[in-house]
Structure 1
Amino acid sequence: MAHAPQIKIPATYMRGGTSKGVFFRLQDLPAQAQTPGPARDALLLRVIGSPDPYGKQIDGMGGATSSTSKVVILSASKRPDHDVDYLFGQVSIDKPFVDWSGNCGNLSAAVGAFAIGSGLIEPTQVPATGVATVRIWQANIGKTIVAHVPMSDGQVQETGDFELDGVTFPAAEVQLEFLDPAADDDGEGGTMFPTGNLIDELAVPGVGTFKATLINAGIPTVFLNAADLGYSGMELQDAINGDPAALERFEAIRAHGALRMGLIEHVGQAAARQHTPKVAFVAPAQAYLASSGKQVGAEDIDLLVRALSMGKLHHAMMGTAAVAIGTAAAIPGTLVNLAAGGGERSAVRFGHPSGTLRVGAQACLIDGQWSVTKAIMSRSARVLMEGWVRVPGDSF
């Protein structure tokens, strides 16, 4: 029996923030995978090593966590005032699907560097030394991200002394601006607060009724009070991920939150939309020991936040969820804002399982509606490997 040989596709393996993913230029993908559809999804699933019933992604580039089961496709932008189009895919580990419903804020930090290094941006637009400004069109959600990428002697500067909790080694700082991060009036999920309320009563049959802030900024997110769930907000991964009953409850909450936000028509659809919405729980600032052994003092943070991604508690914080946190914190009366002490604020520093993160947001009230012009945070990024990724030629 003849077997199809492997094909090789130019690719780069990059870390962005606290995530890792395989980056492609659209033009380098096989012709049948250059447009959305089953062929593209099948190719990317094979690249990452999914679906894997063993949950390890041994036969692919994935790392068997939501933070490491990711793909990015970039192309030169044809949109005015943008440099590159960025499409993100969250690859399921144990199921045969790629979720295209949202962005990855962490990998957003690597987009500018990849675009410069792979020739997607005209060299004349990039300073030899200094900071390159890359305007990114985030194609999943139709939003603009501005990346400020450090340059040195004509190359992207990747090394530096910027430390990011959740990442072991320091690197160069990349500042990101998420412009108009809330949903458009005609966008999926409607306005920033899809229900029109800063706090809702979210009824979850068989689980309970919870106060919730349902916000669509950065990524659709359901915020809950940790205490209402029986948690302190200081939990690390094992406390949640080692409890199957807790994960089942969170998934039920997520599904009913998605329904309440108008993201799905019935709760059964949530299973095919694992990337969005996110579920997070908040608590007032307390001292705790991070997963690295680092002591975080109550005076170092404004509040505690824990968030789930792809059904598991995240080891740090998703970048898009950080945008949601910063946005909600800037708006008086949300659960996030109240956990941080209430009142008006332009930035918040929160504690997550790996340490702390600061995110800023500019919010204003216009005609009775809250508006956020941008959210700002710093991440770092680095190329880990570049060359070709190989897949069996008959796998897509």
Structure 2
Amino acid sequence: MAHKPQIKIPATYMRGGTSKGVFFRLQDLPEAAQQPGAARDAVLLRVIGSPDPYAKHTDGMGGATSSTSKTVIVSKSTQPGHDVDYLFGQVSIDKPFVDWSGNCGNLSSAVGPFAIANGLIDADKIPQNGICEVRIWQANIGKTIVNKVPISNGEVQETGDFELDGVTFPAAEIAVEFMDPSADGESMFPTGNLIDELDVPGVGKLKATLINAGIPTIFLNAEDIGYSGTELQEAINGDEAALERFETIRAYGAVKMGLINDVSEAAARQHTPKVAFVAPPKGYAASSGKVVEANEIDLLVRAMSMGKLHHAMMGTAAVAIGTAAAIPGTTVNLAAGGGDRTLVNFGHPSGTLQVGAECKQVNGQWTAVKAIMSRSARVLMEGHVRIPGDVL
């Protein structure tokens, strides 16, 4: 029996923040995959190595975690006032499914460097030395992101001394601004309340802040679900009953937020909403062994991603945390001690992260102007990925 040869696709493997993924220029994808649909999904699934019932991604570029099973497509922008369009695909590990419903805030920091290095930014915008500001249209959610990318000798500066908890080695700092991160035409609080009561079968009634800023997120109080807020991954990811409870909470929260009509639809929307739990500050040992003191942070946050506790913090969830912390009366704000704030430093499983947010009320409705954080990004490998020819 004859078999088709492998297809060779130009690609770059990059770390952005505490995530990594396979980056493509839209024009380099096979023609059938240059538009949304089954062909594109099939290509990206095979690149990552999904679905993998062994949950190892041995036959693909994925890392068998939600942080490392990611794909990015970048192209010259079709939007006025923007340099590039950025589309993010979260690839399921064990199911034949690519979720296009949200953004990856961590990989957002790698889009500008990728675009500069791959000829998608006009040469006259790139200084010989200094900062190149790349305006990015996040096509999944229709929002603007700005990368401020350091340039040395006309090229992206990747090495540096900026340290980011959750990433082993230092690198150059990239400032990332998420502009107007709340949902267009919708209340940032879909129910109109800063705190709602979620009635979840088998779990009970829970107080929750339901917010759509950065990414739709459900914020719970840690103590209400039996946690301290200092948990590391093994405390939750090895507990199947706990994972099932979190997924049930996520499904009922998604209905309450109007993202789905019925809890049965949650399985087809794995990337959003996120579920996170918060607690007042207390000391703990991070996953690296680093000791985080209570006086170093404003609150504790742990977040679920694709059905597992995240090893650090998703960038989009950090936007939601910073935004919710800036609004007096939310669960996040109260865990941080209440009051007005434009900056919050929170503890996560890998250490700490600081995020700023500017919010205001317009006609009685809260809206986020922007959220700001620092990340780093680095090319890990570039060249081509290969997939079997029978994928298309």
TM-score with structure 2 length normalisation? Answer: 1.00
Per-residue deviation, residues 242-264 of structure 1 (Å, max 9, x unmatched) = 10000000000000010100001
Counterpart CA distance in 1 for 2:51 and 2:375 is 30
Counterpart CA distance in 2 for 1:231 and 1:79 is 44
Aligned to 2:200: 204
Counterpart CA distance in 2 for 1:301 and 1:35 is 44
Identity level (%): 78
Per-residue deviation, residues 256-286 of structure 1 (Å, max 9, x unmatched) = 0101000011111100110000000000000
Per-residue deviation, residues 182-202 of structure 1 (Å, max 9, x unmatched) = 0111xxxx3200000000000
Aligned to 1:83: 83
Aligned to 1:369: 365
Per-residue deviation, residues 196-227 of structure 1 (Å, max 9, x unmatched) = 00000001112211000000000000000000
Residue of structure 1 aligned with 2:277, choices 281, 284, 300 = 281
Q: What is the SS of the residue equivalent to 1:78?
A: coil
Residue of structure 2 aligned with 1:312, choices 308, 314, 322 = 308
Q: Structure 1: which 5+ residue stretches go unaligned?
A: none
Q: CA deviation at 1:366?
A: 2.0
Q: Which amino acid aligns with 1:331?
A: I
Counterpart CA distance in 1 for 2:100 and 2:255 is 18
Aligned to 1:246: 242
Aligned to 1:105: 105
Q: Which amino acid aligns with 1:153?
A: N
Aligned to 1:266: 262
Structure 1 residues 9-24: aligned runs within 5 Å = 9-24=9-24
Aligned to 2:290: 294
Q: CA deviation at 1:305?
A: 0.1
Aligned to 2:44: 44
Q: Which amino acid aligns with 2:2?
A: A
Contact 2:328 2:334 in 1 (8 A): yes
Contact 2:51 2:93 in 1 (8 A): yes
1:303 maps to 2:299 = yes
1:359 maps to 2:355 = yes
Give the paired residue count.
392
Q: Structure 2: which 5+ residue stretches go unaligned?
A: none
Counterpart CA distance in 2 for 1:87 and 1:355 is 29
1:54 maps to 2:50 = no
Residue of structure 1 aligned with 2:334, choices 328, 332, 338 = 338
Moved over 4 A (4+): none
Structure 1 residues 60-79: aligned runs within 5 Å = 60-79=60-79
Q: What is the SS of the residue equivalent to 1:66?
A: coil
Q: What is the SS of the residue equivalent to 2:390?
A: coil
1:126 maps to 2:126 = yes
TM-score with structure 1 length normalisation? Answer: 0.99
Contact 2:88 2:102 in 1 (8 A): yes
Counterpart CA distance in 2 for 1:366 and 1:124 is 38
Residue of structure 2 aligned with 1:229, choices 225, 230, 235 = 225
Q: What is the SS of the residue equivalent to 2:391?
A: coil
1:146 maps to 2:142 = no
Q: What is the SS of the residue equivalent to 2:107?
A: helix
Counterpart CA distance in 2 for 1:395 and 1:31 is 13
Counterpart CA distance in 1 for 2:363 and 2:190 is 17
Q: What is the SS of the residue equivalent to 1:11?
A: strand
Q: CA deviation at 1:83?
A: 0.1
Q: What is the SS of the residue equivalent to 2:264?
A: helix
